[in-house]
Amino acid sequence: MHEKVLLGMSGGVDSSVAAVLLKEQGYDVIGVTMKLFEGEGSCCNLSSTFAAKRVCDYLQIPHYTLNFQDDFKKYVVDDFICQYKNTRTPNPCIECNRYLKFGVMYQKAKELECEYIATGHYAKIAYSEKYNCNVLMKSKAGKKDQSYVLYYIPNELLNHIKFPLSDFTEKEEIRKIAEKYNLPTARTPDSEDICFIPDGNYKDFLEKYANMKSEIGNIVDSSGKVLGKHNGLYRYTIGQRKGLGISHSTPLFVIGFAPERNELIVGEETELYKKEFCVNDIHLLLMDEIKEPMRVEVKTRYTANTAKAIIVQDKNQIRVQLDEPQRAITPGQSAVFYDGDIVVGGGKIM
Q: Which amino acid is at 309?
A: A
Phi, psi of 230, rounded to the nearest 5 degrees? -105, 165
Sorted by sequence, the CB contacts under 8 Å of residue 116 that are 6+ apart come out as 3, 4, 5, 6, 27, 109, 160, 161, 162
Phi, psi of 115, rounded to the nearest 5 degrees? -75, -30
- DSSP assigned state of 98: I
C-alpha dihedral over 239, 278, 104, 56, to 10 degrees? 50
List 82, 96, 133, 278, catalytic entry: 96
User: Is 114 a residue of the active site?
Assistant: no
Q: Which amino acid is at 128?
A: S
Pairing of strands 263-267, 253-258: antiparallel
CB atoms closer than 10 angstroms to residue 138? 21
CB atoms closer than 10 angstroms to residue 191? 17
Question: What residues are paired with 327 via a beta bridge?
Answer: 273
Q: What sign for the dihedral angle of Cα 176, 181, 186, 192? A: negative
User: Is 96 a residue of the active site?
Assistant: yes
User: What's the chain's length in residues?
Assistant: 350
- Between CA 350 and CA 340 the distance in angstroms is 25
Q: Which amino acid is at 204?
A: D
Sorted by sequence, the CB contacts under 8 Å of residue 115 that are 6+ apart come out as 3, 4, 5, 160
**Which residues are part of the catalytic machinery?**
96, 195
